[in-house]
Amino acid sequence: PIAKGGSLDGLKAFYDKYIFGVENFEQYLDLFPVSKLLAAKAAEAVHCERLA
């Protein structure tokens, strides 16, 4: 899937397409071991874009 420490844009696209339904953030991190900060930024960005 995504390499550890992947790009924010890549993570955003991946998050948006595959795991938007994963509500538990820890579950997300278990599935995709990226940095918590980067994952949080990707998740936040996707949520903001969906609300816009």
Domain boundaries, the chain: 8-51
Angle at alpha carbon of residue 17, lines to 14 and 18, rounded to 5°: 80
Cut 0.85: pTM above it? no
pLDDT by residue (tens digit) across 9-41? 777 776 666 665 556 566 666 766 667 777 777
Asked if residue 40 lies in contact with residue 7, where contact means CB atoms within 8 angstroms, the answer is: no
Distances (CA, A) of 30 to 33, 48, 50, 51: 6, 23, 24, 26
Alpha-carbon distance of 51 to 28, in angstroms, equals 21
Q: Closest by alpha carbon to 8, among 35, 27, 29? A: 35
